[in-house]
Structure 1
Amino acid sequence: MIKVATVAEAFDRDLEDDFIRVEKLVEAARADGVRLLALPEACLGGYLADLNGQAELPPALRLDGPEIARLTDIAGEMVVCAGYCEDAGDGTRYNSVVCVGEGRVLGNHRKVHQPLREDASYSSGDSFAAFDTPVGRLGLMICYDKAFPESARSLALDGAEIIVCVSAWPGSRTNAPDDLADDRWTRRFDLFDRARALENQVVWISANQAGHFGSLRFVCSAKIVDPGGDVLATTGCAPGMAVATVDVAGALTDARRYMGHLRDRRPAAYATA
């Protein structure tokens, strides 16, 4: 059994303030016995202020640079996933999420699928790969990646037991309701989370930005979903931390005992892309 947590919180361009928020969240999670914590997309430096290709860019950070080292120090023995703008070293920027723990970088993912004009600000990643961590085999995704079933399926086929999807998922930009709970993009965010968990029979951990940044209003709705597609804990449409205790191996075994969605695949019947 492990305790896992995920966050809906506001982050912005002030990197020092972002680290102060991260440290407080990690301290609160640690005090609650959390072993795995998911923080939102772009929590180090903030997301784009708009999706029209004209936004001020967040600070670009090297994977081997002092900021990720600082995050690693803050995490300590906890496994922490956090979104940031990655400087690849040649001037190329990626919208990335890093996983750190036990004093080292455990994994890193560059966002593959880019909505609207996000490609004006970031280059696109080109792969999905699971990796081993102290809390189990993990896969990483970012936001719009989860709208494509192939993303989560490729991680599950690579042995991911837990998939962490960090997001800066905004609400509707047209005909937006006052209450985020009534927003069609909140509904889609929640549907994707539950569907990806169920169809791959994995533990799904979804983090998201909160509040407003530039022209965007984020839907929050951080959550933990079990391999049957049931929500174990959620922040709802408000900032906060959702926490759940999960028997990862047991949950996967129970979900896959009779209806094994990975086992029962028929790849020869599927048209290739």
Structure 2
Amino acid sequence: MSTTISVASAQFGRDMEEAYRTIGALIEQANERGSDLLVLPEAALGGYLPSLGGGDESPEARQRRLESLPPALELGGPELARVAAMAGDMTVTLGFCEADGDTRYNAAVTLCGDGILGSYRKVHQPLGENLCYSAGSGYPTFETPVGRMGMQICYDKAFPEAARALSLGGAEIIASISAWPTSRTNTTPNMDDDRWKQRFDIYDRARALENQLIWVASNQAGTFGSLRFVCSAKIVGPGGEVLADTGTEEGLATATLDVKDAMRAARGGGMYNLRDRRPELYGSVTEPNRVEELTYA
């Protein structure tokens, strides 16, 4: 059975009503393409952080940072219910700032008109993000109308263990949503040459190929605060092939494929990566970090 997947590179900020308008327009465009799944960026509801980095942040600077956070939304609140109603029969993944009491998480949710199908809290936190958000503690997978899915957020894609955990959990499709910026220290006028854009693309293709599944990578577009985003939303097949992408522009990429047939073809040959694992030899991979041995001058 064929599944049509769309993924967005789009700009989202603090204005919630503008976010709903953008989401509605993307859902309409995806509907026109017959999409069964639409993957929107990280922080689609309320925008991302205006800057990254923290270091030895002063109490005053920390307070300013906390005052500039996106609105914190409850998982069962009216904001996500509004998006679910907009989604209708389509499955939609998007990012938001989740409130759990006084605790805040950089979070993702997959939903449809029937409600929330799965949720996730970002595990790996880069460049001072931990000053604003608490970290999640796992990689759940869940059933959806388009197959078994898992989710990641941005920096998570740099860790092969995260995608492998989802693959071992039976994920057929991983939605990797991002607010992935250009390099701050090695700027270039041509975004295709940006080293952070190139890393984004390498991670997407590698994670799909390593796990022989469908990888759907969304990203923010434009700028927000001091950040400029690399766009590059894409759909990657289980052989690491890019099926559709937005390049360095804002837009919607769409591809149609039979998910199970594509995975069966990739895994049915001589190399089935999950089958051929040697987990008895991988103990050191999950041992606690020894920071003194992993830090370089």
- State the TM-score, normalized to the length of structure 1: 0.98
Kindly provide the CA deviation profile for residues 222-247 of structure 1, in whole angstroms up to 9, marking residues without a partner as x. 00000000000000011000000011
Corresponding position of 1:5: 6
Q: 1:145 aligns with which of 147, 156, 167?
A: 156
Task: Give, in whole Å, the separation in 1 of the partners of 2:171 and 2:114.
Answer: 22
Tell me how far apart the structure 2 counterparts of residues 170 and 52 of structure 1 sit (CA, whole Å). Answer: 13
Separation in 2 of the partners of 1:248 and 1:15?
A: 34
Structure with max Cα Rg: 2
Unaligned runs of 5+ in 1: none
Supply the distance in 1 between the matched residues of 2:34 and 2:178 (Cα, whole angstroms).
24
* Pairwise CA distance, 1:175: 2.3
Paired residue secondary structure (2:218): strand
Percent identity, please.
55
Deviation at residue 176 of structure 1 after TM alignment: 0.5
C-alpha contact 2:122 2:136 (8 A) present in aligned 1: yes
Give 3-state SS (helix, strand or coil) of 1:13's partner.
coil
> 1:66-88 CA distances to partner (integer Å, 9 max, x unpaired)?
00100100101100001000001
Is residue 87 of structure 1 aligned with residue 88 of structure 2? no
Which digits, 9 at most, give the CA deviation of each residue in 1:204-259, with x for residues without a partner?
A: 00000000100000000000000000000000011000000011000000000121
Q: Tell me the distance in 2 between the aligned counterparts of 1:178 and 1:49.
A: 21
Residue 267 in 1 paired to residue 279 in 2? yes
Q: CA deviation digits over 1:12-49, x for unaligned, max 9?
A: 00011001100010011011100000000001000000
Q: Following the alignment from structure 1 to structure 2, what is the Cα–Cα distance between the partners of residues 206 and 19?
A: 21
Partner Cα separation in structure 1 for residue 78 and residue 143 of structure 2: 24
Q: Which residue in the other structure is 2:36 paired with?
A: 35
Note if 1:251 corresponds to 2:254.
no
1:70 is matched with which residue?
A: 82
Task: State the TM-score, normalized to the length of structure 2.
Answer: 0.90
Equivalent in the alignment of 1:61: 73
Q: Secondary structure at the match of 1:80?
A: strand
Q: How far, CA to CA, are the matches of 1:113 and 1:52 in structure 2?
A: 14
Counterpart contact for 2:4–2:256, Cα < 8 Å? yes
From 159, 162, 169, the counterpart of 2:170: 159
How far apart are the structure 1 equivalents of 2:263 and 2:280? 25
Matching residue of 1:219: 230
Match of 2:199 in 1: 188
Q: Distance in 1 between matches of 2:275 and 2:112?
A: 31
CA–CA distance in structure 1, aligned partners of residues 115 and 4 of structure 2: 21
Correspondence for 1:47: 48
User: Which residue in the other structure is 2:291 paired with?
Assistant: none
2:185 maps to which residue?
174
The whole-number CA distance in structure 2 between the counterparts of 1:79 and 1:120 is 32
Q: Where does the alignment leave 5 or more consecutive residues of structure 2 unmatched? A: 55-61, 288-297
Question: 2: distance between equivalents of 1:143 and 1:115?
Answer: 9
User: Aligned partners of 2:53, 2:275: CA distance in 1, in Å?
Assistant: 42
Aligned residues: 272
